[in-house]
Structure 1
Amino acid sequence: MAVEPGMRASDDDRDRVASVLREHYAQGRLDSEEFGERLERLYASKTYGELATLTSDLPDVDLSRLPAAAPAPSKDVAPKEDQRGLTAAWGAWAMASSVNWGIWFIIGATDGFDFPYPWPLWVMGPWGIILLISTIVGGQGKGRNQR
């Protein structure tokens, strides 16, 4: 079936043109500003004719040799890097909290078990709340379609 310029383009068609634009950007034919502008126009395009204008001044690229676009990650599963970052942040929080509570205990024990105000709560409380919010909400923006 022949492709007419007025025919509607699919998401796969736009993804293939995006791959071509990325290839030309990687080869230095497009600077970052041009690349960004063309991507914006690409994802606003509705027809094959509009897609063709985005690459009309660029040499042909064999799309069959380019790798397929990677599937978007699921919103439910955070990437390993995010999980490692959260694990490290919680570990730092636990270590700092333990050290502060240890100091608090030593001060109280050396003062005849007359423990002072529990000031470590002021260290661990706000930090813990921020970490908890980051853990619960942080991964919800990942994996969305950026078009």
Structure 2
Amino acid sequence: MLRPMGREDMRAGDSDRKTVADQLKTALDEGRLDLSEYDDRLQRTYAAKTYADLDGLLTDLPGTVPVQRAQVQPHTPAAAPAPQTASPARQIAQWAGPYGAVIVVCVLIWAITSASAGHLTYFWPVWMLIPLVFGVCGQWFGKGGPHRR
């Protein structure tokens, strides 16, 4: 007659061995195990075939609870705040404001170099406006625009 298989007779998986190895590494980092003891337990961890082989490796270390005595509690997610929908103009201002400051700095650099040259030089900051125009149009007419709710 077959007897029911207990947890200790079940075969351990790679993730079970990895979990024990991580806990042993933590114990080594905290100074709870010396290097030779860590190495010995790590070898026994990766050689373990069943849960019974893994059970004795962590029992003398604080902060590790054997699976038999663990009390798993369901995860209760915190209530997420309701998403606030900002107006399209506000959304544009949130990212275009800092980019506008970059454009202002570029225009100032252009103005200083033009003044030092004695004549107006090529207005290269216009190239900085192209991404701004595309971004504003994309934000206004795309997903965040006023026509799509």
Q: Aligning the two structures, in what range does the TM-score lie when normalised by the shorter sequence?
A: 0.3 to 0.5
More RCO (CA 8 Å, sep 6+): 1
Q: TM-score normalized by structure 1?
A: 0.39
Larger radius of gyration: 2
Q: When you count helix as a share of all residues, which structure comes out higher? A: 1
Q: TM-score normalized by structure 2?
A: 0.38
